[in-house]
């Protein structure tokens, strides 16, 4: 069946945003081997599809290896991903580890198991990357995940910290990349529905979604309903940090600030009494420049 114009437009928009994120953060370089983590959810299917499409016209050459970790949750449909991945012709590995039994034996009944489960999963992913010689690990977190993490840390950990588009693993061995960092969840969900991916539910382990994260999701959904574009605006703020207008003494030298300091050290001076540059000046309304990756 021919894809509809709507689906083609949506794919183009997602590819364009993923391509821009990859270019902006130098996520993928010539000769890289990228391990793409596939959970069977909408985000990871979309990630793989976009990376495969972008590889066709990328200015660099790189290898993609899809990986699924079968955590032995009851009812996990183990044949779905091998069948799907073989069908689309991507190189892949299925890694089987019974982390389900481990978390069940360590976490008391009724408590959320996600944090231990994620730690175990992370270790297995890093080891797999090492075994197969992948220097990059691609995860399917998107713009909304990044914004939700910002608010989680802000409200519950007292830190101004989100989820970076690119980071080096604790052992220094790999670079983790999030090519969907500019892609909105609504677009991804629409794309995944239109692509009819064989989605594997993420609640097979019986664990409840983290309650605090759930609250943040509801808060952002409510804000976005009442003030469309708010999630984009918050994400955009993450790319325009002004240390001189926050209060972290390790990021800005407040102690040595004296009369006559160069205006550049104050990132534009004190505009506290000036009108805020919103509305037509909002940078969100500016077209995104073309990049070679798109
Ligand atoms: S929902 Fe289940 S599989 Fe997913 S992270 Fe939590 S414990 Fe692990």
114 is in an annotated binding site: yes
- Output the CA 205–ligand 1 centroid distance in Å: 6
For residue 11, being part of any structural domain is answered with yes
- Decide if 43 is inside a domain: yes
If one residue of 69, 109, 205 were mutated to test the ligand 1 pocket, choosing by the most ligand atoms within 8 A of its CB, it would be 205
Tell me whether residue 149 is in a domain: yes
Query: Which secondary structure element, helix H or strand E, spans residue 233, and what is its range?
Result: helix 230-238
Any ligand 1 atom below 6 A from CB of 200: no
Q: Is residue 116 part of a domain?
A: yes
User: For the chain, how many structural domains are there in total?
Assistant: 1
Does ligand 1 come within 6 angstroms of the Cβ of 117?
yes
Is 138 within the bounds of a domain? yes
Instruction: Report the distance separating Cα 156 and Cα 161, nearest Å.
Output: 11
Closest atom, ligand 1, to C-alpha of 204 = 2
Cα 114 to middle of ligand 1, angstroms: 5
Give the residue numbers spanning the domain of 12. Answer: 5-218
Instruction: Please give the distance, rounded to the nearest whole angstrom, from the Cα atom of residue 29 to the centre of ligand 1.
Output: 32
84 CA distance to ligand 1 centroid (A)? 22
192 inside domain? yes
- Whether 113 is in the pocket of ligand 1, judged by its Cβ within 6 Å, is yes
- Return the CATH number at 76: 3.40.50.620
CA of 136 to the centre of ligand 1 (A): 23
What residues have CB less than 8 Å from 4, skipping those under 6 apart?
194
pLDDT score, position 1: 53
User: Is the residue at 135 inside a domain?
Assistant: yes
Q: Is residue 267 domain-resident?
A: no
User: pLDDT tens for residues 148-175?
Assistant: 999 999 999 999 999 999 999 988 999 9
- Is 202 among the annotated ligand-binding positions? no
Compute the CA torsion angle 102, 107, 111, 112 (nearest 10 deg).
Answer: -40
The whole-number pLDDT of residue 203 equals 75
Answer yes or no: is the C-beta of 35 below 6 A from any ligand 1 atom: no
Tens of pLDDT, residue by residue, the chain (294 residues): 567 899 999 999 999 999 999 999 999 999 999 999 999 999 999 999 999 999 999 999 999 999 999 999 999 999 999 999 999 999 999 999 999 999 989 988 878 788 899 899 999 999 999 999 999 999 999 999 999 999 999 999 999 999 999 999 988 999 999 999 999 999 999 999 999 999 998 777 776 667 888 899 999 999 999 999 999 999 999 999 999 999 999 999 999 999 877 665 666 566 555 555 554 444 443 444 445 666
> Under a CB-based contact definition with an 8 Å cutoff, are residues 200 and 39 in contact?
yes
The three-class DSSP label of residue 160 is coil
pLDDT number for residue 109: 82
pLDDT value of position 171: 84
Q: Any residues with CB less than 8 A from the CB of 34 and at least 6 apart, and which?
A: 28, 51, 62, 63, 64, 65, 134, 136, 137, 138, 177
How far is the C-alpha of 45 from the C-alpha of 85, rounded, in Å? Answer: 10
């Amino acid at each position: 069946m021919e894809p509809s114009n709507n689906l083609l437009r949506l794919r183009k928009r997602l590819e364009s945003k993923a391509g821009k994120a990859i270019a902006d953060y130098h996520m993928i370089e010539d000769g890289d081997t990228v391990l793409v983590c596939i959970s069977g959810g909408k985000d990871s299917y979309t990630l793989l599809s976009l990376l495969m499409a972008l590889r066709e016209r990328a200015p660099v050459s790189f290898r993609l290896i899809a990986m699924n970790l079968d955590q032995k949750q009851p009812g996990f449909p183990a044949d779905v991903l091998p069948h799907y991945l073989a069908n689309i012709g991507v190189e892949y590995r299925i890694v089987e580890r019974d982390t389900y039994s481990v978390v069940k034996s360590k976490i008391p009944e009724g408590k959320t198991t996600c944090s231990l489960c994620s730690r175990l999963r992370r270790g297995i992913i890093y080891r797999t990357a090492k075994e197969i010689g992948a220097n990059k690990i691609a995860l399917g977190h998107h713009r909304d995940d990044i914004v939700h993490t910002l608010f989680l840390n802000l409200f519950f950990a007292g830190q101004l910290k989100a989820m970076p588009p690119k980071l080096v693993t604790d052992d220094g061995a790999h670079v983790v990349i999030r090519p969907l960092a500019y892609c909105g969840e609504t677009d991804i969900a629409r794309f995944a529905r239109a692509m009819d991916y064989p989605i594997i539910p993420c609640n097979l382990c019986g664990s409840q979604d983290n309650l605090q994260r759930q609250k943040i999701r509801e808060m952002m959904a409510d804000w976005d309903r009442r003030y469309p574009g708010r999630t984009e605006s918050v994400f955009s703020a993450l790319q325009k940090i002004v240390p001189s207008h926050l209060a972290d003494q390790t990021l800005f030298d407040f102690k040595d600030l004296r009369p006559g300091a160069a205006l550049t050290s104050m990132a534009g001076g004190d505009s506290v009494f000036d009108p805020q540059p919103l509305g037509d000046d909002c940078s969100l309304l500016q077209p995104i420049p073309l990049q070679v990756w798109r």
